[in-house]
Amino acid sequence: MHTPRANWAIFILYSFTVLVIFVVALISPALRQTFYAPLRDWILPKPKPIEISVLYSTEKEAWLNEVIADFEKSDARVNGRPVQVTLEKMGSREIYLSVLDGTRKPDVISPASSLQIAILQDQSAGKFPVPVVNLADRQSCRSIVTTPLVVVAWQERADVLWGGNPNSHMWTRLQEAVLNPQGWNSYGHPEWGYLKFGHTDPLKSNSGFMTILLMTYNYIGKTSGLTSADILSDTAYQQWFLDFESTITQFEQSTGPLMQKMVAYGPSTFDMVAVYEATAIEQAENAVGRYGELRVYYPPATVWSDHPFCVLNADWVTPEKAEASNLFIDYLSSKPVQEIALMKYGFRPVDPSVVLTQPGSPFERYTANGFQADLSGLPTVEVPSGNVLNTLLEFWSRNVQR
């Protein structure tokens, strides 16, 4: 039992401590956060979160799933309301089709490339009061990571075909080779059968779409200014293109599985495939010690899978949601998140301060496989208007689709 005097002393000490904590908490923001916020949350109703929905293309799945948790932890808020992101993966074409036909009303879309944004911009014109996307507005539509289209080949076979690196006629040479009735026999290797090239289904996968665009530009001999007339009126091109495509019996629906098949089945099934550089990086390690060396080849002119994140210019995207969306996109552009995209997933960050060739990066580890960090000398073809792109897809869909 304490004496009454001791009880009195304990009471004073206790009251004093509480008073000190209260005063410090009022003065120090950090402590206020610690003590006051839980109290407030406990007493007051929680602010309703701002929910934003993001439809994104499958290539970014692993990266986004890895970094989303840290965004949630960062407690980003707009007008005091926390931001909650719902991510949903989808094929790039499906993304814009679902917006166009009204079945989905996302706040942000991120297909694999600007090709889909161009089509959406073009086709939404008649359906919405204002275009739902605008690539020219860098604030609402930003590329976050990039990766170019490459051709991945078994080096032993590519060496026989190209004797080093392919020249500016890569696609036309490849077309001749896949159609050669003697196959690899013409190159002194009857045991390799026919040259088998693969790309994904352009209607389902952006890399297939980019491949047929590059093939078309290369044959027509341009790197910009592709028109619908080039596609629809040039019968020599059509013949050339359809012959090329006739050698592909099955189009994979997605780039990742195509590259996995390349590695799992080996050169018996695909001598070469057109995929993203990042997809090739993902499998570079797996290919070691399997069927020989895999090597990447950059086409004479490429097109970039630039992963635009676009906040839709639509009535369901309130100013608050737009602001919340931008917070999320800012987070994805932040250096640590960009570094993860590079180091673990082989994407090229848009943040120029992230060094591509830093130790441990894929561009440092796989130089022997032909990966090049510096592509400043590589020409890029112009992304045609949505109308022209759609003509190309339609042409493929009518004449090739299986």
Q: Report the residue number, 70 or 285, with the smaller CB distance to another protein.
A: 285
One-letter identity of residue 1: M
Alpha helices in 266-385 (DSSP H): 277-287, 319-333, 335-345, 362-365
Answer for the pair 212, 389: CB distance below 8 angstroms, yes or no. no
Q: How far is the CB of 234 from another protein (least distance, A)?
A: 25
DSSP letters, 123-164, are HHTTTSSS-S--TT-TTTEEE-EEEEEEEEEEHHHHHHHHSS
Q: Report the residue number, 260 or 334, with the smaller CB distance to another protein.
A: 260
Q: Report the residue number, 272 or 337, with the smaller CB distance to another protein.
A: 272
Answer for the pair 357, 366: CB distance below 8 angstroms, yes or no. no
The Cα–Cα gap between 5 and 105 comes to: 71
Answer for the pair 66, 340: CB distance below 8 angstroms, yes or no. yes
Q: Report the residue number, 180 or 228, with the smaller CB distance to another protein.
A: 180
Q: How far is the CB of 157 from another protein (least distance, A)?
A: 10
DSSP label of 32: I
Where does this chain bind another protein (CB under 8 A)? 183-184, 191-194, 196, 247, 249-250, 252-253, 257, 260, 263-269, 283, 285-287, 289-292
Q: How far is the CB of 363 from another protein (least distance, A)?
A: 21
Q: Report the residue number, 233 or 269, with the smaller CB distance to another protein.
A: 269
Q: How far is the CB of 370 from another protein (least distance, A)?
A: 19
Q: Report the residue number, 121 or 255, with the smaller CB distance to another protein.
A: 255
225 Cβ contact list (under 8 Å, min separation 6): 382, 384
Q: How far is the CB of 333 from another protein (least distance, A)?
A: 30
Q: How far is the CB of 283 from another protein (least distance, A)?
A: 6
Q: How far is the CB of 202 from another protein (least distance, A)?
A: 15
How close are the terminal C-alpha atoms of the chain, in Å?
Answer: 90
Q: Report the residue number, 181 or 319, with the smaller CB distance to another protein.
A: 181
The Cα–Cα gap between 293 and 203 comes to: 31
How deeply is 265 buried, as exposed, middle or buried, from its count of CB atoms within 10 A (0-12, 13-18, 19+)?
exposed
Q: How far is the CB of 134 from another protein (least distance, A)?
A: 34
Alpha helices in 140-293 (DSSP H): 155-162, 170-179, 206-220, 228-233, 235-246, 255-265, 277-287
Q: Report the residue number, 114 or 283, with the smaller CB distance to another protein.
A: 283
